[in-house]
Structure 1
Amino acid sequence: MTDLSHPAPRFSASDAEGLAKDFFNVTATATPLDGERDRNYRLDTGVDAGWILKIVNSSEPRVESEFQTALLDHLAVHGAHLGVPHLRASVAGDYLPSVASATGEQHAMRLVSWLAGTPLAEAKRSVALMSNFGRALGELDRALQGFMHLGAVRDLDWDLRHAARSRSRLHYIKSPERRAIVERFITRFEHTVQPRLASLRAQVIHNDANDWNILVDAETTRHVTGFIDFGDAVHTVLIAEVAIACAYAILDMDDPIGAAAALVAGFHEKYPLQAQELDVLFNLIAMRLVISVTFSASRQDQTEDNPYLAISEAPAWRLLEQLDSMNPRLATGILRKACGFDAIEGAGAVRRWIADNHTSFADLVRPSAAVLNKVIAPFGDASHEMTIASAEQRPADATRWWNAFSAAHNVPLAIGPWGELRTIYTDSAFESRFIKGQRRTLHVGVDLVMPAGTPLYAPVAGTVKSVEVEPDPLGYGGLVMIEHSPSGCPPFLTLWGHLAHEALSRLKAGDKLEAGDLVGYMGTDTENGGWIPHLHLQMTTDTQLSASEVIGVGEPEYREVWADLFPDASTLAGIPPETYNQQGMTKAQIIAKRKELLLPNLSISYTDPIKFVRGDGVWLIDNFGRALPGLLQQRVPLGP
């Protein structure tokens, strides 16, 4: 590899003009370009697009220079449609002639075509551009698939397989807070990513698709037109290419993971990624930034002389700080879902098992939620007095309203649906970690509003994972998490929030619960986080999450991701889907149609007729999601 301490070649612009003429028969005006190790000049001929003359650092092994030349030659054949530099042979027919410096050192030279375009770093970024970038990068790596050269096997600090070397540069970071961020990422890489890299696909990649090496259409900046600077190309894990591209492309974007997801989806469209590759992507994105900022810190005294070394340091730190605030498992779910995978392995299987086995579940409340009269709680209506009282942390007022409504309408149960958009969450704790300036508003649990003290029972057998109290205002209060491992289903967790604190003295981690066993009681507003008494029931298919990591409210933009990670627990709670969706003719329309088509002896015996929409075993389900015994509804008409 190139010795980074070895100075760049000392050739002036005038020298470059002479070399271009003598070796390549190109008459041009030379302008210096930034570079870390080599000396680069743009050559303006006035008659064509121009050229770039690269004078290679003398410490770079010849085989590595030959590798980069062979790579461009390969792309000229297998990726002719791609925007990459084209080689120009010397007058002697050589693509890599050598020249001696004034000190006698030998330097390889390469002349490649200048590519027109605007660097991505200077373009207005959009999700559409990220998607196009991903597709272009996927095509590039697809063209490189199968290409190999001895010089591709090189020891490069910028190879993400060696990202843990950044630990040796930690002491250069002066800020203790920033140093702690970087150390957390390095430790996570060492423990959870590095051991898995050997099992991932590897090939030759560009390895430096940063925003200055990507060119976009100068007029519209809507699509990528070219890739430049293959000086860091290496044989390494394929997913590193995507990680590096993401690390720079999403700098200073309001929704960096959303932008990364668009890029990844574009790449996947042209060069399908594997689920296990996506599982390490988030951490590899962060580690590329870690390599960058630790190198910048270690060479701080060189920054004034070579601003190229710190060109992206400030935005890199901003992104690292934002990534550090994110849960990597949730971010990984976003990236997996963008490529059509479950947000976590097994999510679909859990949902199918719940749907297929719903008749075997024990009742969560007694009588079952299925047979109770119920309404949708007004948490989704920002103007409703119960919602306003809850948002203003006046739970007693919210409870008084509900008690009066419940008694007046004979409705003992209110349901807060999964997927409901709510403005009730005003505390700073609900600010999005993924999207700048946005709050989390999509409810990803199911609420059951009933009186404090209502007992709650496990619908499925499980093992208590944790019992705790979340003390924050509008938090969960008493909180129990249970792990379930039913036969024929991947394991999943249920979270029971807003419980009475008595559960802490009765349950502990490791306790076994059978279906129908008591989990806890709905808590009062003094112990449930300051809410109207209710249960927040939530499932998660990620058994590695702790109770504090399970978000009860998510970003609407990632609804499909949350549906995988936190499936709707309504069926588990015994709530029929008709509770939320009423379709078909109304009762009045059905009665009118009966009078039109049926004889009088087939009259209706109910003062308030029931509209049944389907059967479920021995039960008939009405249009409000209420289950009634089927035999009680049978009326046998008599007659000829």
Structure 2
Amino acid sequence: MDQPASILSSPPPAFTLAQIGDIAKRVYGLSGRLSPLDSERDQNVKLVETDGTAWILKIANALEQPDRLEFQCAMLQHLATVDPSLPVPHIRRSLDGRLLAQVEGTDGVRHFVRLVGYLPGEPFAQAVKTPQLLGSLGDLLGRMDAALQSFGHPGAFCDLDWDIRQAGRSRSRLHHIDDAADRELVESFLNRFDEKVAARLQRLRASVIHNDPNDYNLLVDAPGAAITGIIDFGDAMHSALIGELAIACAYAILDSDAPLTAAGQIVAAYHRHLPLQEAEIDLLYDLIAMRLVTSVTISASRRERAKDNAYLSISEGPAWTLLRQLGAMNPVLATGILRRACGFEAVVGAKKTVQWIKNNHSKFAAIFDRHPALSEKGLVPLGRKTDAIAIASADKRPDEAQAIWARMAAQHGVELGIGPWGEERSIYSSPAFVSLLDKRSRRTVHIGLDLFVAPDSVLHAPLDGIVKDIYVSEEPLDYGCAILLEHEPEPGLRFFSLWGHLASKTTKRLKLGARVAAGEVFAWIGDTHENGNWLPHLHLQLVTYEPASAAETIGVGESAYLDVWADLFPDPRYLAGLSDEVFDQTGREVEEIVTARRQQLLRNLSISYRQPLKIVRGDGVWLIDAQGRAYLDCYNNVAHLGHSHPEIIEVLARQAALLNTNTRYLHDTIIDYAERLTATLPAPLRVCGFVCTGSEANDLALRMAGAHTGKRDMVALDWAYHGHLSSLIEISPYKYKRKGGAGKPDHVWEAALPDSYRAPADWPVAEHGIRFAQSVRDRLAAMAAQGRKPAGFIAESMPSVGGQIVLPPGYLKEVYRDIRAAGGLVIADEVQVGFGRIGTHMWAFESQGVVPDIVTMGKPIGNGHPLAALVTTAEIADSFANGMEYFNTFGGNAVSCAIGLKVLEIIERDHLRQNALNIGNDLIARMQRLAERYPEIGDVRGSGLFLGLDLVEDRASKNPATERAGRIVQKARELGVLMGTDGPYDNVIKLRPAMIFSQANADHLMQVLETAFAEA
């Protein structure tokens, strides 16, 4: 299109058709029908042979440089060789074998001439720009430029204004633009080019490109579905590779309602054939605009000449329209669309930011006084038209809208209303939400997170930040007051958070550049009159690029670009402290599950709480229900190291992928685990038996005791529970004395529960152990009177179901001595209290200074994996080996043992026993202070993270307050803490949280207990 001024001022050749016919015959041996074609500086004639074969005879301007013409011929020849199917003109050699011939005009001036094949089709400019056609254009250019990667020629290097790298020269033509607004627009693009583009462009890939795939140099088939050809290689040159796409897009998206969508379709197809580099795509928006700038400034500079030359002015009007449209766009958003079209992140580092926030969400401070995870939440129905209009149209009737939402929240027990990210909403109907990217659509998709709370609610920073911008607007449906915070939690990771619809007093609290610490109060929620006339709420938005201001950060986007918004403005749910379950609820409803359980499961299965919980996920010390509410789990002691411990998950998956087989085959892990487990126990406890559950372990212990002693009688504590097998139901008063139980079997001797709190008042405290042990001696005496001897004594080292009992000092020493003297074995059931739970010792029996004959363990041993064990002495193990094989299909398998090893490693490495002791001592002290204010707390007992509160009607009588305990537990559940009751009267609140329980967790627990006792 453009050449040095000497060529532009030189008229094109003026051969007659007769002369051209003679040239065709003489130089190429062709004859046929001739018809002239338009051209700016050359003379082009179409020649159609009698058989219909068509050619274009091109007579070059007299001032055209030979090396440029030779370059174009060589380029076409190269393309025909590398990719013969490309729809480019194929050059025909002259009769004497030349690609470029010379002819002389009547004026004696010599001109170069060449003959190329004619390509059928209609101009791309006249076709409907369907996605299919745009993709075809990208395919063609990608294939062509890929073929040209191996081509070079001296004639490719030239100086043209149309070289995209020289787009800055347009500044010299600015004065030709009459309209001040248009001149300012062009100048703004030139400034961006000079400041942000030019230097980076020079560092990008360069190669030979067509350099002018405009809408009149592209041919389309009759249906307009595919590109049939690309012509006019007169401006081909060695330039920035990305310039090819920039030029093609600039013309192909003229008159497009959604120009960036159209450009993305071209770019995506190109990228499939010749992958683009991210640095190239990052400049594409600017380069498209700069091609238009070059075009309109050149047109303006040739205005007089263009009046009589439609070829020069045909695109000027549409170019201005597109340039204005591009000028109204945010370059970051535009570039994000183009990057996503190629499968790249809309902005570099977006996914890294999202992943970091997700991985670290548990470390963030709560943004409200009450952590959103702990609140009862509900989705505000802004996506449904009828409800949305009623709730969101606060600009028309704010009081009514607030009242409607209040009624809805109360009806469903909602504390925190949620307006999700990515929700399509009908409420964005004002002119403020027109699309700058697509004339056919509106911005209707919410790309922030709305949190509906009471006006004047305080906001805490979830992590450290710097105040990047403070924005205040009184425009209806705007942000009202908004704060933009900058975060850089680690080197190389930087993102921003936008907090909108705030109270105006926030601006008095903050200054630009101020540092805000994690957990610090930095803002307040605005009321309707100051928040843009919305229902009071927080609009929270993540931004992964550096926005110029809060005002430029759109909170609503077009649905067509949702994938782009997901990178630029990711869902901030994790930053806000919300879980996925709040937004994505799957499976059956609670009522449906309850009904199905009655029909399809054993009726004996109980359900906790009056309002059953559907728990869908565990995370450390938290259990999360189907609606995303988090409950502090102070009850389920199976997850000893916390729910879903990542190291346990990893070792489970790794070992399961390698080997999982039974004990009939040899594997190292079972020996490694046996050695490691027995090392935690005193001698002579050195022989292990591995099973799957605590019940199996206790059943095996009974069998061993019987085999070793030849006896069957067992002494057990009142209200004990040792498992669900028939053999264990028989020795568990908790089962056989309650509804459905068959009563105490003849071979079971029930000793008194050593509950010091309910010991007779006349017993000296120092003698509680001896006095309670007398009950065991009495049973042994009664047994002996019948000529019977015990097989053994079994007891939890700290009875749990019995009411979180801490055995009185010396109790087990007395009992163990007496049982052994009578010929029996002593079994320590550590299923509930082992593995460091009591804090002072690894095993609870150690706190009594005794060594049992058999230790059983389960529950915490595998952190939720079905693993249990028995450890005994070599002598007892030998007596059990009577010829009958003992085999447990799953007990001791490689996966279970690998998990068991990891549990022991974590307990020791992370000093969890010490943590249990420290946190437990703190809780006991604070519960004792609580008891000073609430006389119904008769006793605070426990050790480490094995704790109980014994509730009574009055401290004098110590009558159990069963209903009161139930109300406290139920109220705690409502407040987000899970605990249970136990003991013979179900009046003891028991607490057995995970060993990773932190001081913050303890503070939260005590806060809830304070509230529960005050309100229950």
One-letter amino acid of the structure 1 residue matched with residue 44 of structure 2 = N
One-letter amino acid of the structure 2 residue matched with residue 315 of structure 1 = P
In structure 2, distance between residues paired with 1:623 and 1:295: 64
In structure 2, distance between residues paired with 1:136 and 1:637: 77
Percent identity, aligned pairs only?
Answer: 48
Greater Cα shift, 402-411 or 56-65: 402-411
In the TM superposition, what is the alpha-carbon distance from 1:408 to its structure 2 partner?
4.3
Greater Cα shift, 36-45 or 354-363: 36-45
Partner residue, 1:236: 239
1:158 aligned onto 2:199: no
1:411 aligned onto 2:397: no
Per-residue CA deviation, residues 330-389 of structure 1 (Å, 9 max, x unaligned), is: 000000011010000000101111111111110011210111111111211111165465
Residues 389, 397 of structure 1: 8 Å contact kept? no
Aligned-partner SS, 1:419: coil
In structure 2, distance between residues paired with 1:619 and 1:462: 27
Aligned-partner SS, 1:437: coil
Partner residue, 1:319: 322
Greater Cα shift, 299-308 or 523-532: 299-308
Partner residue, 1:113: 117
In structure 1, distance between residues paired with 2:536 and 2:159: 61
In the TM superposition, what is the alpha-carbon distance from 1:489 to its structure 2 partner?
6.1
Pick from 30, 50, 53 the counterpart of residue 46 of structure 1: 50
Per-residue CA deviation, residues 267-318 of structure 1 (Å, 9 max, x unaligned), is: 0001100000000001111111111111111111112332110121111111
One-letter amino acid of the structure 2 residue matched with residue 119 of structure 1 = P
Residues 31, 42 of structure 1: 8 Å contact kept? yes
Aligned-partner SS, 2:529: coil
In structure 1, distance between residues paired with 2:362 and 2:214: 54
Greater Cα shift, 387-396 or 160-169: 387-396
In structure 2, distance between residues paired with 1:386 and 1:296: 50
In structure 2, distance between residues paired with 1:383 and 1:634: 47
Larger Rg: 1 or 2? 2
Residues 362, 515 of structure 1: 8 Å contact kept? yes
Partner residue, 1:611: 614
One-letter amino acid of the structure 2 residue matched with residue 153 of structure 1 = F
CA change 1:637–1:41 in 2 (3 A) is farther
In structure 2, distance between residues paired with 1:305 and 1:527: 59
Pick from 618, 630, 635 the counterpart of residue 627 of structure 1: 630
One-letter amino acid of the structure 2 residue matched with residue 125 of structure 1 = K
In structure 1, distance between residues paired with 2:411 and 2:142: 63
Per-residue CA deviation, residues 183-213 of structure 1 (Å, 9 max, x unaligned), is: 1111111111111012101000001111111
Partner residue, 2:515: 512
Aligned-partner SS, 2:134: helix
1:189 aligned onto 2:189: no
1:129 aligned onto 2:121: no
Greater Cα shift, 313-322 or 443-452: 313-322
Pick from 552, 556, 568 the counterpart of residue 553 of structure 1: 556
Residues 467, 516 of structure 2: 8 Å contact kept? yes
Residues 382, 388 of structure 2: 8 Å contact kept? no
In structure 2, distance between residues paired with 1:136 and 1:323: 25
One-letter amino acid of the structure 2 residue matched with residue 495 of structure 1 = L
In the TM superposition, what is the alpha-carbon distance from 1:546 to its structure 2 partner?
2.1
Residues 467, 503 of structure 1: 8 Å contact kept? no
Partner residue, 1:199: 203
CA change 1:386–1:215 in 2 (3 A) is closer
CA change 1:385–1:581 in 2 (3 A) is closer
In structure 1, distance between residues paired with 2:592 and 2:507: 52
Aligned-partner SS, 1:466: strand
Pick from 72, 77, 80 the counterpart of residue 76 of structure 2: 72
1:273 aligned onto 2:276: yes
Residues 448, 571 of structure 2: 8 Å contact kept? yes
Residues 20, 28 of structure 1: 8 Å contact kept? no
Q: How does 1:83-94 map to 2 (within 5 A)?
A: 83-94=87-98
Residues 381, 387 of structure 1: 8 Å contact kept? no
**What do you get for the CA RMSD once the two structures are aligned?**
1.8
| TM, length-normalised to structure 2 | 0.61
Q: How does 1:161-310 map to 2 (within 5 A)?
A: 161-218=165-222, 220-310=223-313
In the TM superposition, what is the alpha-carbon distance from 1:473 to its structure 2 partner?
1.0
In the TM superposition, what is the alpha-carbon distance from 1:29 to its structure 2 partner?
2.9
CA change 1:400–1:489 in 2 (3 A) is farther
Aligned residues: 639
Aligned-partner SS, 2:401: helix
Name the structure, 1 or 2, with higher relative contact order (CA <8 Å, separation 6+).
Answer: 1
Partner residue, 2:359: 356
In the TM superposition, what is the alpha-carbon distance from 1:30 to its structure 2 partner?
2.5
Pick from 26, 38, 44 the counterpart of residue 34 of structure 1: 38
Aligned-partner SS, 2:91: coil
Residues 242, 284 of structure 2: 8 Å contact kept? yes
In the TM superposition, what is the alpha-carbon distance from 1:106 to its structure 2 partner?
2.4
One-letter amino acid of the structure 1 residue matched with residue 78 of structure 2 = H
One-letter amino acid of the structure 2 residue matched with residue 60 of structure 1 = E
In the TM superposition, what is the alpha-carbon distance from 1:228 to its structure 2 partner?
0.8
Aligned-partner SS, 1:370: helix
In structure 1, distance between residues paired with 2:154 and 2:389: 71
Aligned-partner SS, 1:608: coil
Partner residue, 2:532: 529
In the TM superposition, what is the alpha-carbon distance from 1:594 to its structure 2 partner?
3.2
User: Where in structure 2 are there 5+ consecutive unaligned residues?
Assistant: 639-720, 730-1016
Partner residue, 2:404: 401
Pick from 57, 61, 72 the counterpart of residue 57 of structure 1: 61
Partner residue, 1:384: 387
In the TM superposition, what is the alpha-carbon distance from 1:598 to its structure 2 partner?
5.0
Aligned-partner SS, 1:468: strand
Aligned-partner SS, 1:138: helix
CA change 1:592–1:161 in 2 (3 A) is same
1:475 aligned onto 2:475: no
One-letter amino acid of the structure 1 residue matched with residue 186 of structure 2 = V
Aligned-partner SS, 1:476: coil
In structure 1, distance between residues paired with 2:558 and 2:432: 13
Pick from 1, 10, 22 the counterpart of residue 6 of structure 1: 10
Q: How does 1:560-575 map to 2 (within 5 A)?
A: 560-575=563-578
Pick from 128, 143, 153 the counterpart of residue 147 of structure 2: 143
Partner residue, 1:340: 343
Residues 387, 424 of structure 1: 8 Å contact kept? no
Per-residue CA deviation, residues 453-493 of structure 1 (Å, 9 max, x unaligned), is: 00011111111101120222100011100011112662000
In structure 2, distance between residues paired with 1:597 and 1:19: 95
Residues 475, 529 of structure 1: 8 Å contact kept? yes
In structure 2, distance between residues paired with 1:385 and 1:300: 54
In structure 2, distance between residues paired with 1:388 and 1:109: 74
In the TM superposition, what is the alpha-carbon distance from 1:564 to its structure 2 partner?
0.3
Aligned-partner SS, 2:386: coil
Greater Cα shift, 554-563 or 207-216: 207-216
In structure 1, distance between residues paired with 2:136 and 2:394: 42
1:584 aligned onto 2:595: no
Aligned-partner SS, 1:486: strand
CA change 1:632–1:409 in 2 (3 A) is farther
In structure 2, distance between residues paired with 1:589 and 1:375: 20
Pick from 24, 29, 40 the counterpart of residue 25 of structure 1: 29
In the TM superposition, what is the alpha-carbon distance from 1:448 to its structure 2 partner?
0.5
Residues 431, 437 of structure 1: 8 Å contact kept? no
One-letter amino acid of the structure 2 residue matched with residue 172 of structure 1 = H
| TM, length-normalised to structure 1 | 0.97
